[in-house]
Amino acid sequence: MEGNTRAILVDITKCIGCRSCEQACKQIHGFPMDSEKKLSPTALTIVEEHGDRFVRRMCMHCQDPACASACLVGALKKTDAGPVTYDAAKCIGCRYCLVACPFSVPRYEWTKLVPYVKKCDMCAARQAKGQPPACVEACPVQASISGNREEILEEALRRILASDSKYVKHIYGSEEAGGTSVFFISDVPFEKLGFVAAPKQPMPVLTATALGDGPTVILVGGSLLAGLYWITQRRALVALAEAQEKSLKERN
């Protein structure tokens, strides 16, 4: 399973800002072709300019995604193949995934009367047929490459550790939110390129402890309350019996 997990590597030093990835993404989804500045329901990946660097933004496809743990109906899922996919037929539109995502990726169709969540699915359908994601295929300079997650990580490491390397010694995505399936390497510190300092642990861990308390609360709380009720009842019975006894004695 782990061996077949797909991933994307974006090498920021190679990106020339041609926006072919944006265009390919819009084309495959049938969105209007105008370039957009920010992620939107009709722009699932965009290229941001930070000084003279170009940074792609898209869903990070976390290994243990916050959105998938947050979604109450399980519309968002981490697939074995790597992509985090969205089942629009299940979605009820609560938007907890937007709240939960540490990278603020999912978008909502605020303008529509029947609104859905929109986010990159790493071209899950294409990848299932053995094709690369549309954005990767469109990149003329291989700034984005895709492949097996292990091999992609090795490649990133190889580039960073090369003798003439100018790269920052960090693969963004290797530990963010417990690890993702989209990686970035750069020669400019990531915080200067608009990358968020996401927590290092898998996000669902944060809620798992609270949820894990549920059964304990029911068991311990339930017995405690039942016990209290029993005591209350018992006291009432004893008080009643004492009163009866007293009245009996008085009568004698």
| 63 in contact with other proteins (CB under 8 A) | no
| 28 in contact with other proteins (CB under 8 A) | no
Cα 145 from Cα 142, distance rounded (Å) = 6
Among 50, 95, 159, 170, binds other proteins (CB under 8 A): 95
Among 53, 115, 147, 188, binds other proteins (CB under 8 A): 115
| AA letter at 90 | K
Among 104, 131, 142, 244, binds other proteins (CB under 8 A): 104
Contacts of 89-92 with C-beta under 8 Å, sequence gap 24+, read: 91/116, 91/117
Nearer to other proteins, 84 or 136 (CB): 84
| 216 in contact with other proteins (CB under 8 A) | no
| 192 in contact with other proteins (CB under 8 A) | no
Among 4, 35, 131, 207, binds other proteins (CB under 8 A): 207
| 138 in contact with other proteins (CB under 8 A) | no
What the block records as the tokens of 128 is 């299932």
Residue with tokens 């020339």: 16
Task: Find the shortest distance in angstroms from Cβ 93 to other proteins.
Answer: 2
Environment class of residue 94 by beta-carbon count within 10 Å: exposed (0-12), middle (13-18) or buried (19+)?
middle
Cα 135 from Cα 199, distance rounded (Å) = 27
Instruction: Render the burial of 19-41: b for 16+ CB within 10 Å, e for the rest.
Output: bbbbbbbbebbebeeeeeeebeb
| C-alpha atoms less than 13 angstroms from C-alpha of 123 in its C-beta half-sphere | 24
Nearer to other proteins, 73 or 141 (CB): 73
Residues that bind other proteins (CB under 8 A): 39-40, 66, 68-75, 90-96, 98-100, 102, 104, 106-108, 110-116, 196-199, 203-204, 206-211, 213-214, 217-218, 221-222, 225-226, 228-229, 232-233, 235-236
